[in-house]
Amino acid sequence: MTERTWETWLEGQFPAYLLRCAEGHPRPATAVARALARLAGDADSLHQLAALAFLLDPGSGVERLVCDDLPAYLRRIHPRSERVREELRGHVRGRIDWGRTLVLQQQTRDPARAVTTSLRRSFSTPELLLVRWLVERIRLAAATLGPSEYARDDLWIGRLSRIHNAAETCLRHAALRDLPESRPTADTYRACEQSRDAAIRHAAIIAHDHASLLPRPKLEHLRDALARYSLVPYQPETRFELYILLTLIESIDRAWPAATRKNTLIAAKRRAIATWREGQAVLRLFYNQPAERGAYTLALLHAYDARAHLRPDLRLVFEDDRRKVELLLDAKLSSDLGYLRAAYLKMHGYLADRPHAFGNDVHPKAIILAERRLARPPRPTDPVVYLDPTSCRESGALDTLMTHWLAQLLSPAT
């Protein structure tokens, strides 16, 4: 499998990726549907994906609406005057309506009562009521994904921050800030859909899109939106890590068909990316997250009061009622032999840091997946083995290693 081949394979997948070092690309609807089926029980993950699709789907134009069209529309808006009638007693403000005042005094037999009228400006129109509600929904959706003031403008997180800031600016406008936040009625939608202003007609369309995605997304609408816009890492090294992660998940599915898998998003503050369960046996897959504390962490903490953690690319943690065993995997998008030698020594450093975590009688303990072609197949009994992209095919060397590793852990004799 050449570099271009693994890239092509990755283009056909939906990785459910929400980390910052990414850019938007279309994904096959079938791949999106498969991933959503795995996430169907995870309401938080679906909500985040729906917020991403709602805000950044190029087919909806939310960014253009809230950043350009609505600010221009609000600059054209003028308040209308409303005559407000009040019944007062004692101190009188405004213009007295003498006819109604005389009637009121006769009815109440109280000469201190008066009816006054005054003019107030008002922005309460169907169009602005819908805009007020929609912009608040856009602001909340952007806040769900964690906007950052320091993000690059050309990245998705930078676009998200721009949308969030534009929504907050709109909500501070005099035309919107005092309006009630109420869900638009059918009459409000009808008035906006028939508006002469293109921005209001566009806002009505986006409000309908919001109803199909948030707060509880309809899976068919979410699938179509994510097929048009999904996040993929822009750095080739990170894409190679993602390729290894996705092929590893498929390999474990084949090696352990009796287990039930549950996925989550590849996002900030994530825990296990995937979890397999069968009875009391549980296998968790962690991506780019700190390993548990070992000799390296404790030595730096003792000597310099410094925090440090080893962070392998991928970490499998198997646990049942008898023991807990780990397997490390590192992705190296390189064919340089010197770099791969250093990677081997690095993996042995990981193993020496926490030797109790990998099981004395379980092999392999670490896998290096590199771009360089192997001269011969790996030995499953070695503590550290090399693989290349061709090893990740179905029935390839990765399947052999995962079957061998899981068999040692699941066997009653061990």
Nearest to 73 by CA among 115, 130, 27: 130
Query: Does residue 30 contact residue 14 with C-beta atoms inside 8 Å?
Result: no
DSSP state of 21: S
Taking 90 as the threshold, does the pLDDT of residue 116 lie above it?
Answer: no
User: What does the pLDDT average to over 204-217?
Assistant: 94
Omega cis (within 30) before 28: no
Nearest to 131 by CA among 68, 178, 176: 176
Q: Which two tokens stand for residue 67?
A: 């950043």
The predicted structure's pLDDT at residue 292 = 87
Residue that is written with structure tokens 């008066």 in the block: 114
Element (H, E) at 197: none
pLDDT digits (tens, 9 = 90+) for 188-197: 999 999 999 9
Q: Predicted confidence band at 383 (pLDDT cuts at 50, 70, 90)?
A: very high
User: What does the pLDDT average to over 360-374?
Assistant: 95
Taking 90 as the threshold, does the pLDDT of residue 307 lie above it?
Answer: no
User: What does the pLDDT average to over 301-306?
Assistant: 90
Mean pLDDT of the chain: 91
Nearest to 173 by CA among 201, 135, 119, 126: 135
Give one DSSP letter per residue of 31-73, joined into a string.
HHHHHHHHHTT-HHHHHHHHHHHHHH-TTT-HHHIIIIIHHHH
Q: Predicted confidence band at 229 (pLDDT cuts at 50, 70, 90)?
A: very high
Taking 80 as the threshold, does the pLDDT of residue 43 lie above it?
Answer: yes
Query: Does residue 400 or residue 95 have the better pLDDT?
Result: 400
Query: Does residue 25 contact residue 232 with C-beta atoms inside 8 Å?
Result: yes
The predicted structure's pLDDT at residue 256 = 97
φ/ψ (deg, to 5) at 65: -65, -55
Query: Does residue 273 or residue 94 have the better pLDDT?
Result: 273
Q: How far is CA 29 from the centre of its chain?
A: 18
Residue that is written with structure tokens 């850019």 in the block: 23
Taking 60 as the threshold, does the pLDDT of residue 3 lie above it?
Answer: no
Give one DSSP letter per residue of 77-122, joined into a string.
--PEEEEEEEEEESS--SEE-HHHHHHHHHHHT-TTEEEEEEEEEE
The predicted structure's pLDDT at residue 171 = 97
The predicted structure's pLDDT at residue 123 = 83
The predicted structure's pLDDT at residue 119 = 62
Taking 80 as the threshold, does the pLDDT of residue 334 lie above it?
Answer: yes
Omega cis (within 30) before 180: no
Least confident of 29-38, 67-76, 374-383, 405-414: 405-414
Taking 80 as the threshold, does the pLDDT of residue 225 lie above it?
Answer: yes
Distance CA 7, CA 14 (A): 13
How much is the CA Rg of the chain, to the nearest whole Å?
30
The predicted structure's pLDDT at residue 369 = 97
The predicted structure's pLDDT at residue 411 = 85
Grouping H, G, I as helix, E, B as strand and the rest as coil, residue 129 is helix
Taking 90 as the threshold, does the pLDDT of residue 71 lie above it?
Answer: yes
Taking 70 as the threshold, does the pLDDT of residue 249 lie above it?
Answer: yes
CA dihedral sign of residues 9, 12, 16, 21? positive
Query: Does residue 147 or residue 391 have the better pLDDT?
Result: 391
The predicted structure's pLDDT at residue 310 = 87
Domains of the chain in start order, with CATH, are: 23-74+128-233 (no CATH), 80-122 (no CATH), 236-410 (3.40.1350)
Query: Does residue 103 or residue 70 have the better pLDDT?
Result: 70
Q: How far lies 241's CA from each of 79, 96, 101, 385, in Å?
A: 56, 77, 80, 17
Distance CA 313, CA 234 (A): 17
Query: Does residue 163 contact residue 169 with C-beta atoms inside 8 Å?
Result: no
Residues whose CB falls within 8 Å of the CB of residue 82, separated by 6 or more in sequence, listed in order: 119, 120, 121, 122
Query: Does residue 144 contact residue 157 with C-beta atoms inside 8 Å?
Result: no
